[in-house]
Every structure is written in C-alpha cells, then in structure tokens.
A and B are shown apart, each in its own frame.
Chain A
Amino acid sequence: MADQEYTRPIPVADEASQEFFDGANEEKLMLQKCSQCGTHRLPGRERCLDCWSTESEWAQASGKGKLYTYGIMHQKYHPAFADVTPYNYAIVELDEGPRIVTNIVNCDPEDLKTDMPVEAVFDHVSDGATLIRFRPA
C-alpha cells in the first residue's frame, strides 16, 4: 500500500492482459510465451509474429533488462502529472526480448544512460493496482 493516495492515472486490465496485471500485484512480470516457438511477447497480440501460432502460455520474466531509451517530459499534457514534471519515461528492453514502457526510479536524470542494466520494481500504487517501474541494477 502506498503511504498517500496516488493521484496519477491507474491502468486497468482487459481480457488479454489480466494475467499481466494480476502478476504485477504479486510482484511478477508476466509475459506471453509462444507455445510453438518459445518467443516471448507482451500481452495483447493474439498471434506470434514469428511463427504465427495462436497458442501461448504465461511465463514469468526475470524482471531484468536494459534501458533501451528514455525521455524527460517537460510539457504538461496531463494535469495529474503537473506536480511531478519534469519526469522520466522510458522503454526497457527485457532480457526475454520485449520492450516495455515504464519509468526509471532511484536514478538522477543525469545518471540515466541508454543500455544501462535495470531491474523491475513493483510499485503498489493503490489497492489492486501495481505499476512495474525499473531501477538501476
């Protein structure tokens, strides 16, 4: 539980991503793994883009990866982010292959470097909602 009420947008699962969001609550980063060729993918795609199989299973990822790229948002697009602007947003490349959008925590902006190793942090922002952020590993 967070110490104070979390006021920024909270994502919700849809049918395709339920296990991903449930997994995050249990501090697991869950991916879909193709049952035919073993390629990992983020939820939401029904078909493996390599072998086109529609069969997949859920697999827990290591939670480790590297910072593929990042930006520092200065523009105030959304009122809920106004008091944390500027803030970083990032794309992490998981060791299993997929790239996922996130924020980097426990890191000063000037210390952010592309390709730096990072690991998942499970941020329980409200009851039943966990955001997977990453920190330097």
Chain B
Amino acid sequence: MVQELKGKTAISGIGITEMGKVYGHNTGWFAAEAIRLAIEDAGLKKEDIDGLLVNTGVTPLPGMGGLDIQNHLGLTNLRLLTSLQAGGATAAIMVQYAAMAIANGMANHVVCVFADAPLRESRGGGGAYSGTGGGGYVPPGMSGLYTAFGMFGITAQYALAARRHMGMYGTTNDDFGAIAVAQRAWAEKSPHAQQRDPMTIEDYHASRWIAEPLHLLDCCLVSNGGVAVIVSSADAAKDLKQPPAYIWGIGQGHPGDLKRAGWDVDTNTGASLSKERAFSMAGIELNDVDVCQLYDCYTYTVLVTLEDYGFCEKGEGGPFVADGKLGPGGALPTNTGGGQLSGYYMWGMTPLSEGIIQARGTGGDRQVEKHDVVLVSGNGGILDHHSTLILSPHPA
C-alpha cells in the first residue's frame, strides 16, 4: 500500500537564504525570503502555491505558530496550512504530509518552511540554546533538580547519550573526531558552509570541552537563516525549472523516552523504526544508498544514526567511521555540505536541503558522482524523534 506513494511526488523548488551570522533581519523575514527564493527556483508563481507548512525554531515566527507568514507574502489560495513541531525531525515530516496531501489531490504545490534567528551580535551561539542555564531561576518540583545538579543546555544531554555509548561499546573521542573532520572536509567544498577552514583530528582534540565527552567541535553551529522547499506532484515537477528530486520513501520513528530501566533510546534511536517504512516504500536495501545526509546536531548523532540504519552493527559505529569513509572520496559520502557541524544549522532543513542538491546533481565541487539514492534523516529532541526521506533524481 505505502509503495503506491513512491515517486508520486517530488521536491520542485528550494530556497536557502543568506545563512549564519546574518544580523538585521527577524525570523519572519528569513521565512518569507526563503519562500520567495524557493518559488523562484521552481519557476512557479505565488498564485500556484496552495499549501504552506511552517516549522518554527527557537525564535518565534509571526502569528499563531508562524501562520501569519501567509499574509506577509499574500498567499491567498491556500487549501492546506498548519504549523508542525517535532524538533529537528520536522522538516522531513512536513515533506511527508505535503506529499500525502498532494498524492491524494488535496493540494498541488506545498511550501514547507523553517526559519530561525537566535544569533544576536551581543552573545555567543551557545547562549541561544542554553535552556535553563541563563538566569538564576529554579523551577519548582522535580525539574528544579536539573538546575540544582548543574545540568544545563542541550549539549549536556547529548553528552550523556554519547557517554552511554562509550561506556557500552568503547566508542572514543577519536571516533567522534573522525566525523567532525570528514564533514569539515566536505564543508571546504561548499559555498553555503559557515566553517570552511581545514580541520585536523588534532584541531578536534584541542577544541575546548563543552560538556565532556563533547568538545566544541562535536557541536553543531547556530545559524540565522531560513530554508523553504516546495513539494509538487511528480507530473507537475517534471515540467518545472529544476530537475525534480523524487520522493521515494518516507518514514518516522518515535520510540519515546520513558527515563527508566530497560529504556535505551540514547543508544537505540527511532531511526530503525523510521527506516523500516521508508526503505520498504522506496523498495530499496541499505546498499542501494549512494549518499547520506544525516542529522548531526552532534557528532554522536551521526554515529548512532548510522548504526540504527544498519550500516554497521550496533556498537560498531566508532570503528565504522574511524577510517574516514564519510568524507570526500570515502565509501559512504555523508553530510556533503558540511552538515550542521560545519555547514549551517537549520534543524532538519540542513540534511534535507543538501539531499535535494545532491539528488539534483548540482553540488558543484562536492557533488557525489553516483547519487541515484539519497538518504535524508531528521532527529528531534534528545534522540526522541526521527524522520526519514529517500530522494532520487529518477521517478522510479
């Protein structure tokens, strides 16, 4: 049944705004600009857009859930409009719901947008995501324990997951470093990337600890910017301006985190559940995948995601990545735009945008020669939510 969706829809347009330490614009501007660029990229007119899905980051978009973006752009033909939130898994999830709506005749061209502007000139990137770390406020009840014991920010929580994996399987910082170094090598080839200076494993180890076992260079960037993509029917997309990135497979996996004995989402994420449906829909096996765009809020996220998709056995992610196979010229080209670590941090839009570019074959210096099957993953919360897209330049 689900295989009937394979190749029925495609990404027809993408808009990527100026990205990174870009000041002077609010989140709404980035969202509107990304949508404008995506519509222009596809060769559509604003009147053609009849669906809009919105995902907000840490800085709010105008209106309830960001829906006022519609009015900023004068989109008056919408038959589909809502705001979604599953953290970094949302981008691929928006594409899923857009594809399902289009395949069922509910809409023709659906824009999916994410924008965020947490960076301010007056503070560092970490401050934008430090959570309870800022003021002296201690929330009453059990959640106050996190403040009392000094567990602040998102990095602290991913450090716990990474440490659990290290303790169980002997994974090392050299392994995490191999991921950071491979992605920087890709970033050097990408005009979109914020960090393009060469990086060695020594540079990685020399970068300061944030929350051990995570160094600064284990952590994603923080970026101001916006990305929008347009989902269209395959029939419509093939007559538009750009080569379509056909949607072959879609999946989600949300195992929950019960925070008690027997629960191990830190080392066994929802990726395995998400993969199952997406690969079955696409009718592919793991060795059909040519290029990976894996959500990489931290190096560890890449490592555990590779395991959960089955690229290696559980626990062997460290040795698997250590030989540099993820980098340029490696056997499994991964995060070819530098990812969130060295490229830009637009939540799930980072892997999705680069996945579209690779599927189109417009990656320039970083284009992977064989790109018939592109795997895109999303991850939200602390490994709580996972989403998968399989993209291809071929309709079937």
Query: What does DSSP make chain A's interface, helix, strand, loop or mixed?
Result: mixed
How far, in whole Å, are A74 and B150 apart by their CA atoms in the complex?
A: 11
Pick the contact of A74 from B149, B151, B210 — CB < 8 Å? B210
B137 closest partner in A (C-beta): A9
Interface residues of B in 126-183 (CB under 8 A from A): 126, 130, 133-134, 136, 138, 140-153, 155-156, 159-161, 163-164, 166-168
Pick the contact of B153 from A49, A75, A97 — CB < 8 Å? A75
B60 interfacial contact with A, CB 8 Å: no
Pick the contact of B213 from A71, A102, A103 — CB < 8 Å? A71
B45 interfacial contact with A, CB 8 Å: no
CB contact under 8 A between A75 and B167, given known A8-B150, A9-B138, A12-B138: no
Check A99–B142 contact: CB distance below 8 A: no
Number of interface residues of B (CB under 8 A): 43
How far, in whole Å, are A133 and B145 apart by their CA atoms in the complex?
A: 11
B144 closest partner in A (C-beta): A11
A114 interfacial contact with B, CB 8 Å: yes
Number of interface residues of A (CB under 8 A): 46
Check B138–A73 contact: CB distance below 8 A: no
Pick the contact of A71 from B145, B147, B168, B212 — CB < 8 Å? B212
Whole-angstrom distance between the Cβ of A125 and the nearest chain B Cβ: 9
- Scoring A43, A75, A99, A113 by chain B CB atoms within 10 A of each residue's CB, the highest score goes to A75
B164 closest partner in A (C-beta): A69
A72 / chain B contacts, CB cutoff of 8 Å: 209, 211-212
Whole-angstrom distance between the Cβ of A90 and the nearest chain B Cβ: 8
Interface residues of B in 303-341 (CB under 8 A from A): none
Pick the contact of B260 from A14, A70, A97 — CB < 8 Å? A97
Check B164–A43 contact: CB distance below 8 A: no
B126 / chain A contacts, CB cutoff of 8 Å: 75
How far, in whole Å, are A87 and B152 apart by their CA atoms in the complex?
A: 12
B266 interfacial contact with A, CB 8 Å: yes
A58 interfacial contact with B, CB 8 Å: no
B1 interfacial contact with A, CB 8 Å: no
Check A114–B260 contact: CB distance below 8 A: no
Check B167–A74 contact: CB distance below 8 A: no
A80 closest partner in B (C-beta): B136
A78 / chain B contacts, CB cutoff of 8 Å: 133, 136, 147, 150, 152
B168 / chain A contacts, CB cutoff of 8 Å: 114
A98 interfacial contact with B, CB 8 Å: yes
A13 interfacial contact with B, CB 8 Å: yes
B260 / chain A contacts, CB cutoff of 8 Å: 41, 93, 97-99
How far, in whole Å, are A97 and B262 apart by their CA atoms in the complex?
A: 8
Interface residues of A in 1-42 (CB under 8 A from B): 8-14, 16-17, 20, 41-42
Whole-angstrom distance between the Cβ of A11 and the nearest chain B Cβ: 3
A86 interfacial contact with B, CB 8 Å: yes
How far, in whole Å, are A52 and B208 apart by their CA atoms in the complex?
A: 45
A16 / chain B contacts, CB cutoff of 8 Å: 141-142
Whole-angstrom distance between the Cβ of B241 and the nearest chain A Cβ: 46
B147 / chain A contacts, CB cutoff of 8 Å: 9, 11, 78
A118 interfacial contact with B, CB 8 Å: no
Pick the contact of B167 from A9, A100, A115 — CB < 8 Å? A115
Check A102–B149 contact: CB distance below 8 A: yes
Check B149–A93 contact: CB distance below 8 A: no
B258 interfacial contact with A, CB 8 Å: yes
B134 closest partner in A (C-beta): A77
Check B212–A69 contact: CB distance below 8 A: no
A17 / chain B contacts, CB cutoff of 8 Å: 141-142
Check A97–B148 contact: CB distance below 8 A: no
- Scoring A69, A78, A90 by chain B CB atoms within 10 A of each residue's CB, the highest score goes to A69
Check B167–A114 contact: CB distance below 8 A: yes
B123 interfacial contact with A, CB 8 Å: no
Closest 3 CB pairs of A and B: A114-B167, A77-B133, A11-B144
List 21 A-B residue pairs with CB atoms under 8 Å apart, sorted by A's residue number: A11-B140, A12-B141, A16-B142, A43-B141, A69-B266, A70-B160, A71-B160, A71-B212, A71-B214, A72-B209, A72-B212, A73-B151, A74-B210, A74-B211, A75-B210, A77-B133, A77-B152, A78-B147, A81-B150, A99-B260, A102-B149
